[in-house]
Amino acid sequence: MQQIVFLDSDTLDANVHLHRPDFPHHWQSYPNTAPEQVVARLREASIAIINKVRIGKAELAQLPELRLIALAATGSDNLDLEACRAANVAVCNIRNYSGPSVPEHAMALMLALSRNLFAWRQSLQEGRWQQSGQFCFFDHPIMDLQGKRLGIIGKGTLGQALGERALGIGMEVRYAQSQVGAATEDDRLPLDALLQSSDVVSLHCPLTPYTRHLIGPRELAMMKPGALLINVGRGGLVDEQALLEALANGRLGGAGFDVASVEPPPPDHPLMQALQYPNFILTPHVAWASEESMQRLADQLIDNINAFAAGRRQHRLV
């Protein structure tokens, strides 16, 4: 009988229905798991389910029964995939489950920042409407997105979904030139040219050694004055201290982030410090977490496990 252990079930909302696999098994679930608990909890497991728990070569060496790690997420940077391959442990992940949720969240951040909604709310709380004596007042700039250029870094499923939505409201959409793709696509630009010409830049690429701090002081400085930066990808894509400085000096029009390099970020983290600015929005890594998307994730997770037990390769990374 297969032994299945879910190490961090609290990464899914309690309202999500996680149906059980079709084959005989024993199921053990833990709300969360500390690094020092991983090996003990997986000692007898043949299938591990994880979202953010880290498993590397040292842990795998102590888990001879393990045959599958089923990621309850798309990203795999918490796993040593080469060590999994060497240990003959299969890895599968979740794909294309948050198609509507993430681009809609990115659009919400773009709209809130371009209309300066948080700054207007703060002014209202401070009594500015009453002080103005007029039917309206003009403390904060408002930018229409129609006719503006959206530069998207990452032309995968989510990046293209955002592009389609942006075209629907009249934006011009361009994508960053891929390092491996064809250089002749009409809607692609080299990264520097994309940053220099875009009114909004949105990140939808994976975190790799190449993309870590892809947006740093140099890149922020070359963005158009007043441009917006959206990150619903990975926290490490942006040098967060440089972002804080760009917000402080007023050159950046605003930023909307759903991810941080450390999650949850400590109180002194640059993104937490940036919350003092009304043109910065931070949400707690929930762009993916609509009710519909979480249910699709849960269903696909079990489908991946069923496929593995039946000898089918489905959504395999290893």
Q: How many CB atoms lie within 10 A of CB 218?
A: 11
Q: How far apart are CA 202 and CA 255, in angstroms?
A: 10
d(CA 59, CA 57): 6
Distance CA(158)–CA(261), nearest Å, equals: 20
User: What's the rounded Cα separation, in Å, for the pair 288 and 315?
Assistant: 19
Q: Which residue among 174, 188, 269, 285 is the active-site one?
A: 285
* Interacting residues of 72 by C-beta distance below 8 A, sequence separation 6+: 6, 8, 11, 12, 49, 50, 51, 94, 297, 298, 301
Residues 211, 265, 275, CA angle at the centre, nearest 5°? Answer: 95
Is 285 tagged catalytic? yes
Active-site residue identified among 149, 234, 269, 315: 234
- With 0-12 CB in 10 A as exposed, 13-18 as middle and 19+ as buried, what is 130? exposed
Marked catalytic residue, from 44, 82, 263, 291: 263
φ/ψ (deg, to 5) at 168 = -65, -25
State the sign of the Cα–Cα–Cα–Cα dihedral 210, 317, 70, 202: positive
- Residue 105 known to be catalytic: no
Is 95 tagged catalytic?
no
Q: Which residues are catalytic?
A: 234, 263, 285
